[in-house]
Every structure is written in C-alpha cells, then in structure tokens.
Amino acid sequence: MDRAAFAELLARGPLVTDGGMGTSLVASGVAPDACFELLNANAPEAVEAVHRAFLSAGAGIVLTNTFGASRFGLARFGLADRAVERIGTNSLANFAGDLRARGDGPDGDGWPVGFGSTTILLKDTGAATSGTGGRRWGERSHHLIDPRTGLPAETDLVEVSVLASTGAEAEVLAKTALFLGREAGARFLDERALGSYIV
C-alpha cells in the first residue's frame, strides 16, 4: 500500500488493527509454548484463520505473525537444527549463539566457529553459549530465570559454551550447567557434552 492509499484509508474514519495473535492462536488449540512464528511455515492455515477472524470482526489492519521473530526469540525453539536440515548437507545456522554445523564447511575442514576464547572447526555438531553477562538490569538481575526459584539464576558462572550433537541439546546443557554452578556444572557437562568452555 502506498502513502496515498494509506492516507485515503485513514480519511474514511477510525482504523482498527487486529488483536492478540498469540492469544488467538492458543484459543484455537495451539500449545502456549509453541513457536508461533514457525506456524507461518508449518501451519499457515492456522495463522490465516486468525487473520480472517480479525478481518471479519472489523479489523482494517492485520499485522504479520512475527512478534517474537528475533534471533533471541527463535533460538529457544531449536531452529538452528531445523534450518540446516532445510538449507542442505553443507550448512551452518546460528540463532543468537545457538548453532548447528552440518557437513564439512566451506574448505572441507569444518565450519570455523568461535568457542570460548578460540576458534574451532565444527562438522555435524551443535554448539550453544549461555551467560548472565549480556542482558542485565541491576547488579543481580539478568534474563536467565532459574526454573527452581522463578528468579534470575544465582550462579558463580558468567558464561558456559557447550558442544553437543545438536544445537538444541547444546543449549539445554549450557543453561543447566550455568544454573548448577562451577563445580556441579562441570561434572554435569563432563558426563554429557562433547566439549565445554566455562567462565
């Protein structure tokens, strides 16, 4: 829609936008913890049905189903693993530090990836980094909520990077180790991870 068409639309009177996409999707039967943005590709009919309902209710503007479509919002759904499956046999996908390498990389030696304080070459491996230093507000508040307490995690670790068979597995291992702390986290990773770097 160009500027003139939009101005004409506004001149007709009040313009109503759509309602809550996530709320409407859940009301239609989508699980509350689903990746709503992934529905655009995997179940477009569900998204279209919500948009049609908004239009039937009188909405003049319908927004895209992309509210959480940031690299941070999408990373938690294991989309790096899904992306390399769609991209091809020699690919790398990175969503906010959760990544998956597939194949031998551009030169056949693996995909060069920063891991801790060094660069490593990954082949058919997932990696993830989780930490408390990036998104903070105040001295003790950060974005990683400990499921045991419902509060920002209290840990003696700042950052944990993990290698695993998939990006999703690496993410779970990294977060769990971070919550457990230095000693218990290191033991936990020794038993489960392909490699780790703890700060």
Q: What is the pLDDT of residues 143-196, one digit of tens each?
A: 778 888 888 888 899 899 999 999 989 989 998 999 999 999 999 999 999 999
Q: What is the pLDDT of residues 5-56, one digit of tens each?
A: 888 888 888 888 888 888 899 999 999 888 888 888 889 999 999 999 999 9
Tell me the pLDDT of the chain averaged across its residues. 88
The pair of structure tokens assigned to 169 is: 């597995």
Q: Tally helices (H) and strands (E) across the chain.
A: 8, 9
Contact call for residues 181 and 157 (beta carbons, < 8 A): yes
Q: What is the pLDDT of residues 94-115, one digit of tens each?
A: 887 789 999 999 999 999 998 8
Query: Structural domains in the chain?
Result: 3-56 (no CATH), 78-198 (3.10.520.10)
Q: Minimal CA–CA distance to 130: which of 189, 190, 183? A: 189
